[in-house]
Amino acid sequence: MRRQAPKNAFYAQSGGVTAVINASACGLIETARKYPKRIAKVYAGRHGIIGALTEDMIDTSKESAAAIRALRHTPGGAFGSARYKLAGLDQNRTQYERLIEVFRAHDIGYFFYNGGNDSMDTAHKVSEIGAQLGYPITCIGVPKTVDNDLAVTDCCPGFGSAAKYIAVSTREAALDVLSMARTSTKVFVLEVMGRHAGWLAAAGGLAGEKSGDAPHIILFPEIVFDKAKFLAKVKRSVEGSGYCVVVVSEGVRDADGKFLAEAGTKDAFGHSQLGGVGPIVAQMTQEAFGYKFHWAVADYLQRAGRHLASKVDVEQAYAVGQAAVQLALRGKNAVMPVIVRKSSKPYRWTIGEAPLAAVANKEKQVPRSFITADGFGITAACRRYLLPLINGEDYPPYVRGMPAYATLKGAPVVKRLATQFPL
């Protein structure tokens, strides 16, 4: 009888959060609640995997259906996330053993890990060590990252909304600059995320539709920064169109492979330059041509901007959460649901699956064929790929002018272990 009883599930959010990671949590929890004979309760790690290591878990069964539903439109990580990479199995086996100890103590039979490529590696290792320690556990990855750099999946939940934010913001700021350019600002620079992959920078390209439209220049981490070529293009743009809008990835590097953002500028006290790459490239244009410039750094605004989410992205984020449960219930292990593109025009997609081993620790950059020959723009192929991902709006509800985001009780699961675990 005991053996037949449904197991609990553990869910954790990992790494940088997004506007829709909670939509995945929503899809996962709502789906799990439909199968009470298979999954008893979903426990969420408080601050991700740290919550498992320290036995600090949130009992999501204490949350109302309305609160779980509201996760669908709430940005950030509602249970807390963590930048905490487990070491390799050889380096710190005790971490993995501790996870299994906690899972065993709480009768957890499913481990759902919502994160990027590092997290898929962790989930993969947990599935291996569970088997080794005689505590088999079903490990399913749930993809998430604004960077869109996960392997196998056509796109990553979280990216579409950040991409939409950047594309719309670029279009809006460009209208502003164009208004002002005659007597004031001629160069506007928007700095976006993406340290190793330029997908978010590429999304800025969607702001323009025809030749001469902003953005006039995109700086990708995939393309070595060439200052002379960049400045020449800025000049052509200002002289031709009256202004120049630049979208720059934080990950842009020079020929030595060094991030431009760390290009050796120091403040008066000898500290490294505080600013990012946005102000640096903006300043270059003033030094070269005297152009008045403005710059913005979107930072967390771009990945938390749930008010401007892509409907497709929200649906996909929900779908991978839902599919994670379905895969687990079908007896799959060490897999991750992926987005499969069936066609671009019209856009059709479905959910597939990939072994965690095929996703773990890989990184997908923007292919050269998506970047124009001069290295400063996106091609038609890139546009075809990106456009469907920002399609549709999915507005949160507002109360008195402000979005009404979910607030959870966050009731803790009663601890069963006497031992502490030092992080």
Q: Which helix (H) or strand (E) holds 189?
A: strand 187-192
201 interacts with its own copies by CB under 8 A: no
Decide whether 3 or 182 has the Cβ nearer to its own copies.
Answer: 182
Of the candidate spans 104-112, 232-240, 305-313, 368-376, the one that interacts with its own copies by CB under 8 A turns out to be 305-313
180 interacts with its own copies by CB under 8 A: yes
Residues recorded for the chain = 423
344 interacts with its own copies by CB under 8 A: no
CB of 175 to its own copies, least distance (A): 3
Tokens 């990580």 identify what position? 77
CA pair distance 339, 317, nearest whole angstrom: 10
Of the candidate spans 58-66, 133-141, 179-187, 252-260, the one that interacts with its own copies by CB under 8 A turns out to be 179-187
Q: Which of residues 362-401 bind its own copies (CB under 8 A)?
A: 387, 390-393, 395, 398, 400-401
- Please pick, among 121, 147, 149, 394, the residue that the annotation labels catalytic: 147
- Report the SS3 class of residue 102: helix
Name residue 75's amino acid: P
Q: Which of 77, 130, 143, 205 binds its own copies (CB under 8 A)?
A: 77
CA pair distance 388, 296, nearest whole angstrom: 26
Name residue 228's amino acid: A
Decide whether 75 or 321 has the Cβ nearer to its own copies.
Answer: 75
Are 13 and 114 a contacting pair, CB within 8 Å?
A: yes
Decide whether 257 or 401 has the Cβ nearer to its own copies.
Answer: 401
- The structure tokens listed for 68 are 């779980």
- The structure tokens listed for 5 are 């009883």
Catalytic (active site) residue 147: yes
Decide whether 83 or 342 has the Cβ nearer to its own copies.
Answer: 83
In the DSSP assignment, the letter for residue 18 is -
CB of 399 to its own copies, least distance (A): 10
Q: Which of 275, 352, 355, 412 binds its own copies (CB under 8 A)?
A: 275
Are 119 and 14 a contacting pair, CB within 8 Å?
A: yes
Decide whether 84 or 421 has the Cβ nearer to its own copies.
Answer: 84
Q: Which of residues 249-268 bind its own copies (CB under 8 A)?
A: 264-268
Q: Which of 99, 207, 336, 382 binds its own copies (CB under 8 A)?
A: 207
13 interacts with its own copies by CB under 8 A: yes
Q: Which of 1, 66, 228, 402 binds its own copies (CB under 8 A)?
A: 402
Are 252 and 197 a contacting pair, CB within 8 Å?
A: no
Kindly tell me the burial class for residue 322, based on how many C-beta atoms sit within 10 Å of its own C-beta (0-12, 13-18, 19 or more). buried
Question: Any residues with CB less than 8 A from the CB of 381 and at least 6 apart, and which?
Answer: 369, 370
Q: Which of residues 142-171 bind its own copies (CB under 8 A)?
A: 164, 167-169, 171
Are 238 and 187 a contacting pair, CB within 8 Å?
A: yes
In the DSSP assignment, the letter for residue 73 is G
114 interacts with its own copies by CB under 8 A: no
321 interacts with its own copies by CB under 8 A: no
130 interacts with its own copies by CB under 8 A: no
172 interacts with its own copies by CB under 8 A: yes
210 interacts with its own copies by CB under 8 A: no
Euclidean distance between the first and final Cα of the chain, in Å?
A: 37
Q: Which of 96, 110, 295, 385 binds its own copies (CB under 8 A)?
A: 295
CA pair distance 207, 218, nearest whole angstrom: 11
Kindly tell me the burial class for residue 414, based on how many C-beta atoms sit within 10 Å of its own C-beta (0-12, 13-18, 19 or more). exposed
Decide whether 310 or 316 has the Cβ nearer to its own copies.
Answer: 310
Q: Which of residues 23-52 bind its own copies (CB under 8 A)?
A: 47, 50
Tokens 């086996």 identify what position? 93
Decide whether 167 or 336 has the Cβ nearer to its own copies.
Answer: 167
Tokens 């439209």 identify what position? 213
- Residue 48-67 contact track with its own copies, rule CB under 8 A, x = bound: --x-----------------
Size of the site for its own copies (CB under 8 A): 79
Q: Which of 187, 282, 319, 328 binds its own copies (CB under 8 A)?
A: 282
176 interacts with its own copies by CB under 8 A: yes
Q: Which of 39, 68, 75, 144 binds its own copies (CB under 8 A)?
A: 75
Q: Which residues pair with 338 in a beta bridge?
A: 352
| Residue 204 φ then ψ, to 5° | -55, -30
- Report the SS3 class of residue 139: strand
126 interacts with its own copies by CB under 8 A: no
**Which residues carry out catalysis?**
147
